[in-house]
Amino acid sequence: MQLLKSYILPRVVQWAVVIFVGVTVTFLIPRFSPVNPVDEMIGRMTAFQTIDPQAVVAMRATMEDLYGLDGSLLEQYLAFWRRLIQFDLGPSFQNFPTPVNEFIAAGLPWTVGLLTTTTIISWLLGILVGSLVGYNQHKPWAQALERVVIVVYPTPYLIIALILIFIFAFYWPVFPMTGGAQGTPAFTWDYISSIFRFGFLPALSIIIGGFAFRFIMAKALSTSEVASDYVQYAELAAVPKRRIVISYVIRNTMLPHVNDLALSLGAMFEGALIVEVMFGYPGLGSKLFTAISNADYNIIMGIVLMSIVGIATGSLIVDLLYPVFDPRVRLR
Amino acid sequence: MLTTLRDLLRFSLSFRFGAFILLLVAVAVATSFFAADPPEKRRVVPRKFRGDPPSAQYVLGTTALGQDVFWMTVTGIRNTLIIASIAVVIGRGIGVMLGMISGYLGGMTDRVIQSIVESVIVIPRLPLLILIAVILKGGLTFVSLGILIGLLDWAYPSKRYRAQVLSLRERDFTHTAIFSGMSTRKIVIQEHLPFIIPFLLADMVSGFVFSIGIEVTLSYLGLNDLNSLSLGTQIYWANEWSSIYAGKPWVMIAPVVSVIVVAAGFYLVSIGISEYLDPRKRLVRLQTHAQADAAAEQAADPRKEKE
């Protein structure tokens, strides 16, 4: 009960605040921009064809209704929320009248699958390797590895993906360049193995980027942990090195990592978006990219809202798992 | 200032490397002003040299459209850095202000600001940036893109400044200053700002890494001013004209390598400065100043002795 009150409740409130801020910002951006999206859209539609002026007026009214642009700002805001709660994100413009929901539902499993797998792998790998390097910081292999990571870490995901495409899909074509899977979706070996084959390079790009970030943090944390008295004592007591690293160093640096995982989900998601675009992976990123080139405003808006809610919920789940790792929170 | 620079160069390997890279970048930026023709102009290179690999005359090769990749790249680096500088100044400006307000005022203001900051950290920025950039499409210039990136990159920094302010507020010298009747404004400006500024410096340098990455990403999606040169738009066009498939990889390699090198340079410098600011390492450095070199060597690294 105490845990619920002092830990879980504030996290849930924070989750609500994140969604509130995110939705409000998303609502305000188009309204405070100097360009009116409706004018923009009509301009684009009438650029290549002549349309009856009356039709333009009707179109404008429909679109203002669609965007929720009639009424005062407050009324618009309330209407925006009402539509959101009903999961009504409006129709796609390019593929009228398919609802945006369907597009998002088609892309979501790919993105969630890719993101979950890569986040878990890069997080665990980063902590393990980073702590090992922090513990053996004077060994040549550790220093060499650290130098490589220091160059990889500031490199944008886009560039990592680009280089992987050149090497493994173009010059030495062992992996397919674009797509998500081959064949018809079925529970067969061919289809499932093709998911892995197509997903390998996108996943590898995200893992490399996420790993570098986690590695640097794990190395910094474990370096200060290694210098502490209890590690020195354990070394003097001839505790096996593997045990020192895993049960002492990593166990004691775990909390900041869990805490930080919740905060870094957003960055990983951004990486996943751009990597999907690069590989034509059929997730939300590619849908977003197609929508950008078609100026399909409703889909963009839907994916932005979706990602805010998704990432906020993901962080909430990680935060709620925190007591599992921290006995101080659990036992209070 | 000069002593600081000397210490940094002497004690931090990463700073030495980073400073060297940034020096090269600075030379590249300076060179970009001497381009004979505007580098984005096409059909500058004589017809028989178009689409040639790197040679003595065209160091980084040429594009099939008759542009000199070397001039494109140095100009691209310059423009990317202009965008990043604007973003960094705006982002850190907001960050410092919010962090200081939050840290000094405390109480309810602090709680409200902090919960907004926490939310902004969690919210993925790229989709928001894409939404804004799509709406402004066509109207985006380097300046507005820089402002846009800056407006979304202040949450993490502000948290760090707040932590800094909170610790400064509890130091003895702050209490001494308060009891001796110093006004709050004076304490902030004379006593605390000197502590904040080095942090700001390290933070600004690392802010470049993020801004360069976002610029390249947005440009790749076609959301920058595509008629001007930046590292991002250069990659966009190299990709658009499929330079790799056409067997002209140098058009793509030059901007890609530049992004990696420039970002690594800024990152290395920021590591160097943060190492310099780390109080434990600072202690080591002070000892080194005082003692003879041989003794200092041991003090700097007690683990070495043990091994």
Tell me: the pLDDT tens digits for B129-186?
A: 888 887 776 677 888 889 989 988 888 889 888 888 888 888 888 888 888 888 888 8
User: Looking at beta carbons, which residues of chain A come within 8 Å of B255?
Assistant: none
Q: Return the CATH architecture of domain A104-294.
A: Orthogonal Bundle (1.10)
Higher pLDDT, B43 or A223: A223
Cα B27 to Cα A292: distance, rounded to the nearest angstrom: 37
Whether chain A has a CB inside 8 Å of the CB on B118: the answer is yes
**What digits encode the pLDDT tens for the residues B32-81?**
888 777 777 776 677 777 777 777 777 777 777 777 888 888 989 999 99
pLDDT band of residue A288 (cuts 50, 70, 90) is confident
Evaluate if residue B251 carries a pLDDT over 50: yes
Within the 2-31 window of chain B, which residues sit less than 8 Å (CB to CB) from chain A?
Answer: 14
- Which CATH code is given to the segment(s) B2-306? 1.10.3720.10
Contact A303, B127 (CB under 8 A): yes
Domain layout of chain B by residue ranges? 2-306
Domain layout of chain A by residue ranges? 104-294
pLDDT band of residue B289 (cuts 50, 70, 90) is low
Within the 144-173 window of chain A, which residues sit less than 8 Å (CB to CB) from chain B?
Answer: 150-151, 153-159, 162-163, 166, 170
pLDDT at position B5 is 77
Nearest to A295 among B123, B134, B307 (CB): B134
Q: Which of A83-92, A265-274, B229-238 has the lowest mean pLDDT?
A: A83-92
pLDDT at position A43 is 73
A35–B136: do the CB atoms touch at under 8 Å? yes
User: Looking at beta carbons, which residues of chain A come within 8 Å of B140?
Assistant: none
Cα A204 to Cα B270: distance, rounded to the nearest angstrom: 27
Cα B80 to Cα B213: distance, rounded to the nearest angstrom: 10
**Residue % of chain A over a pLDDT of 70:** 90
Evaluate if residue A183 carries a pLDDT over 80: no
Cα A151 to Cα B263: distance, rounded to the nearest angstrom: 8
Within the 164-203 window of chain B, which residues sit less than 8 Å (CB to CB) from chain A?
Answer: none
Instruction: Tell me the two tokens of residue A17.
Output: 């605040």
- Please tell me which residue of chain A has the smallest CA distance to B134: A292
- Please tell me which residue of chain B has the smallest CA distance to A166: B244
pTM for the complete prediction? 0.84
Instruction: Name the minimum distance, in Å, from the CA of B71 to any CA of chain A.
Output: 21
SS3 A99: strand
User: DSSP H helical segments within chain A, as ranges?
Assistant: 2-3, 9-32, 37-46, 53-67, 73-85, 100-135, 140-152, 157-165, 189-226, 229-236, 241-243, 251-279, 284-294, 297-325, 327-331
pLDDT at position A98 is 79
**What digits encode the pLDDT tens for the residues A28-51?**
887 776 666 677 667 766 666 666
Interface predicted TM-score (ipTM) over 0.90 = no
pLDDT at position B82 is 93
Range with the largest mean pLDDT of A180-184, A192-196, B296-300: A192-196
pLDDT band of residue B307 (cuts 50, 70, 90) is very low
